[in-house]
Amino acid sequence: MIFDDYRDRFHDIALSRDECGVLTVRLHSRDGSLKWNGRAHRELSELWGLMSADRDNRVVVLTGTGEYFISVTDHERLTKPLVHGEVREQDWDRAVFEGVRLVTHLLEMDVPVVCALNGPAQAHSELAVLSDIVIAADHAYFQDLPHAPMGMVPGDGIQLIWPLLVGFNRARYFLLTGQKIDADEALRLGVVGEVLPAHQVLERAYEIARELASRNPIMMRSTRHVFMRSLRRAVVDDLHYGLTLQAFSGLSGQDFYAERGAE
């Protein structure tokens, strides 16, 4: 696999690589902040595997565009069909297929990942916090808006990573209530490594990434494997199960919401 094979393959992901081997993955929607959607879900499930096969990548910098890392501009419109049983079984099957690969392929990346968290992550915060190093903008926050608060099981990786980061009870509160964990609180909890003004975040991420890229690549790949080993075991055990329950709860919503509407 070479970079030119996948550089321009995606709509919602812009890719570039410098002479140090630092690959930048920038999430976007028409060059503004990424508005989470099904296409982004599909593309990210494909991207990590392609990147892993390219041995010229030394370090990955993951970031967003504009004010948000990932935004959910109309979470009711996005989530309602899923929780009301309006999505077909074959579409849920595809979503589970993609969801498993979105997380497992990211964990299989054998080079360090530095997240330049340019703003709030209102959905799929696991993409940021599964990075080895997270540098957060001071206005950023983490939230899980589209799942439990809207009636959907949080089964696509966030239910695995957040208890490891902040503890079981705090994670359940965060996921069930849609709580926002702001950048300073995330720093206090150890979720992020640094909090900086937004205009300094990407520059600092590159500074760290290029220093990592200057190290022995075999040592860095092996270090990444050491870090990811326990997370991979957790994902193998529980990720598909969580996604399947997410699909099951969505399919069950048709009867539940029909009964509520009849009351």
User: Going along the chain, which residue ranges are E strands?
Assistant: 13-17, 22-27, 59-63, 113-117, 133-137, 141-142, 181-182, 194-196
126 is catalytic: yes
Alpha-carbon Rg for the chain in angstroms: 18
Residue 129's nearest CA partner among 198, 56, 183 is 183
Per DSSP, what are the bridge partners of residue 136?
117, 195
Beta-carbon contacts of residue 40 (< 8 Å; ≥ 6 apart): 12, 13, 27, 29, 34
Q: Would you call 173 helix, strand, or coil by DSSP?
A: helix
Q: 10 Å Cβ neighbour count for 109?
A: 20
- Give the whole-angstrom CA distance, residue 115 versus residue 135: 6
> Which entry of 108, 126, 185, 211 is annotated as an active-site residue?
126
Report, as residue numbers or ranges, the catalytic residues. 126
